[in-house]
Amino acid sequence: MVTKTRGRDPASAKCLSVLKVLLAGYHSRGFSVRLWDGTVWEADPGDATKFTIVLKHPDALCRMVAPPRDLALAEAYVRDDFDIEGDIEAALALGEHLCALPWTTKALWGLFWQLGPLVFLRLRHTRDNAPALRGKLHSQNRDRRAVPPHYDLSNDFFTLWLDRRMVYSCAYFSNQSDDLDRAQERKLDYLCRKLRLMQGERLLDIGCGWGGLIMHAARHYGVDALGLTLSKPQAELANEQIRQRGLDRSCRVELCDYRDLSISSAFDKILSVGMYEHVGASALPKYFDQVWRLLRPGGVFLNHGIAIRNTFRPDRFIDRYVFPDGELIPIGPLLTMAEQSGFEVRDVESLREHYAMTLRHWLRRLEAGHAEATQIVDETTYRVFRLYLSAFAARFQSGLFDLYQTLLLKSNGGESGLPLTRDDWYMRTPPEQESWASV
């Protein structure tokens, strides 16, 4: 890489000296570094520059690698100590290198003291934009407090980068050129076909978000649909959209915890899309028990959610700033718990690549709406979401995360009532696209 000095701050040369030592074992050179005074450490000639790391002040590098390094690096980005111009997903590999440095804290501070312009910093990790939750983990009271910081943030903010139905879960693509609206419509219809919805059936959607799925199911399959959410803004907007579309006789959204429903065998079909990740491993047996009670004999439950590899380590940044109290587990234990509640596992399908594509659509739309986003939320919140979306895309791409749709049956005396093949899932022609006005 080539260094071009344009500024006058002598501290920038020392900062680059430290950075070059830290990146000595990093072989990818498809990026450049720009310092606060205009000094640029360019990519090697001939290498395409995928991104530029911009250090905003002399202490930025020190803040980026403070212990614990993974949280420090994320918080330094969120606080705007440094910026990432260009492909933020490509920059994550560089971040992983910095997090994995074998330097002890003492040796690292010694390096800064010897080569850098920095004083010894006493860093305290902030909890800005992060909820302080109290009470028993995964209790109903605590769960009600864990939801608003993320899902109540702003309907207008989510409208900027979700599809026109505001579906905040993995889409279903037929090819790389599919647009997000069409892929999300295909996912909604695929879920309905997997459940084999029939006219007049009662459908429950646990964690329904803004109601896109129950509206689709009511309109195209003639079901009586109930959606549950813990987010008041979601419920209000969903019910407004339901009324505008003339669907209020066949579907509704309630501000309600699924644990508060008490009518046994009340629903023919149940699904949960992107919700079980908030339940927690310790509470999952009760989650499956409750769904079992609510489902009629012979009914099916479709659980759509993220699973992890056994090697994945919890992410302190995501846990603190994005999904407080969220908990991911591997697919094996999840299926075991479902079976222990009485369910028969009928189908498990991975949509891992689809979620990586979905997240990249969301990320591009968020970045394109940066100026508008920061008029709705602050810059810190924008950065939290930009970092989380890119990190999740990289994890799905690498296989650390997976997305599974699991079809579970509440058997009726050994009779499944299901066809012998899956042909009906794939042969049905999806409904024509609806005209959904922007929210």
pLDDT in tens, 188-218: 999 999 999 999 999 999 999 999 999 999 9
Determine, yes or no, domain membership for 399. yes
Residues 103 and 151 in one domain: no
pLDDT above 60 (res 232): yes
With respect to residue 50, please indicate whether it lies within any of the assigned structural domains.
Answer: yes
- Kindly state whether residues 377 and 275 are assigned to the same domain: yes
Label residue 393 exposed, middle or buried (CB < 10 Å: 0-12, 13-18, 19+): buried
Q: Are residues 151 and 295 in the same domain?
A: yes
Report how many domains make up the chain.
2
Percent of the chain with pLDDT over 70: 92
Q: For the residues 117-128, what does the mean pLDDT come to?
A: 49
103/192 same-domain check: no
Residues 208 and 90 placed together within one structural domain of the fold: no
Q: How many CB atoms lie within 10 A of CB 225?
A: 29
Judge whether residue 2 has pLDDT over 80. Answer: no
98 and 148 part of one domain: no
Alpha helices, DSSP H only, in 79-209?
Answer: 88-99, 105-115, 140-146, 148-151, 155-161, 180-195
Domain co-membership, 89 together with 147: no
Statement to judge: residues 169 and 307 lie in one domain: yes
296 shares its domain with 418: yes
- Which range marks the domain in which residue 355 is found? 140-427
pLDDT one-digit tens code per residue, 307-366: 999 878 888 999 999 999 899 999 999 999 999 999 999 999 999 999 999 999 999 999
DSSP 283: G
Taking the whole predicted model, whether its pTM rises above 0.75 is answered as yes
Domain contains 154: yes
Report the CATH number that the domain containing residue 60 is assigned in CATH. Answer: 3.30.1050
| pLDDT at res. 45 | 73
Q: State which of 99, 115, 131 marks the end of a domain.
A: 115
> Are residue 52 and residue 168 in the same domain, yes or no?
no
My answer on whether 106 and 158 are in the same domain is no
Three-state DSSP class for residue 231: coil
Q: Are 233 and 167 in contact (CB under 8 A)?
A: no
Q: Which residues share a beta bridge with 4? A: 40
Residue 119 has pLDDT above 80, yes or no: no
174, part of any domain:
yes
